[in-house]
Chains A and B, each alone.
Chain A
Amino acid sequence: EVQLVESGGGLVKPGGCLRLSCAASGLTFSNAWMSWVRQAPGKGLEWVGRIKSKTEGGTMDYAAPVKGRFTISRDDLKNMMYLQMNSLKTEDTGVYYCATGTGRSDLDDWGRGTLVTVSS
């Protein structure tokens, strides 16, 4: 069974930074494409970005609102994915989910999320 556990959320001031982590188990992590998806309070789902497996280039794709501010990375030895968030804005507030695709959709399995609040 795939398990994804996010951590690192919290309260941060506008312009600040935060690093989220996603711990994965129950899958061959090195082969997995991993994504971050966020949800603002009371709103819908917004894909943030993804990192491909190293065997498929290890490249990252980002949504336009976060490109240049957020960076996704992975550590295949630790089965971990990270989201470095810089220059945070109030509109970045929300629950951040880690998700992975294992051959069905790109977002087959999801963690429970971690809350990020950007406020002065």
Chain B
Amino acid sequence: DIVMTQSPDSLSVSLGGRATINCKSGQSVLFNSNNKNYLAWYQQKPGQPPKLLIYWASTRESGVPDRFSGSGSGTDFTLTISSLQAEDVAVYYCQQYYSAPLTFGGGTKVEIK
């Protein structure tokens, strides 16, 4: 199984500030034949299901604000919120879909400082 490790567990950021969440996979999730990283990021607000933000490590889902960006390749990935808004308070998860079982990181709780 591919273990996904997220850091930090939580972070507090001022409104308008930058939030950076890291995700490390236990093995590469880069599929060489198509050069795609099978890594997604989700946002989950209280009482709601997760929402897909980023797929293929860096492709923003339709309708997701451009303050959200994903980067990285192989085993190391980052989700950045460039200018934190009040509505971004949530828990964020990375997830690999390179191989079954699909696995998630432990989550990062983002709060307003």
A interface, CB within 8 angstroms of B: 35, 37, 44-47, 49-50, 61-64, 97, 101, 104-113
Contact = CB atoms under 8 A, between A and B. Distances in A.
B49 A112 contact: yes
A101 B49 contact: no
5 contacts: A50-B102, A64-B1, A104-B52, A106-B97, A107-B95
Contacts of A37: 50
Contacts of A35: 102
A110 B51 contact: yes
Interface residues of B, number: 26
A35 to B, nearest CB: 7
B77 interface: no
Q: What DSSP secondary structure best describes chain A's contact surface? A: strand
B106 A47 contact: no
* Most A CB within 10 A of own CB, among B1, B102, B106, B107: B102
B40 interface: yes
A53 to B, nearest CB: 15
A108 to B, nearest CB: 5
A105 B105 CA distance: 15
Given A45-B50, A45-B93, A106 B102 contact: yes
Given A106-B97, A110-B51, A44 B102 contact: no
Nearest to B91: A44
A109 to B, nearest CB: 8
A113 B49 contact: yes
Contacts of B48: 112
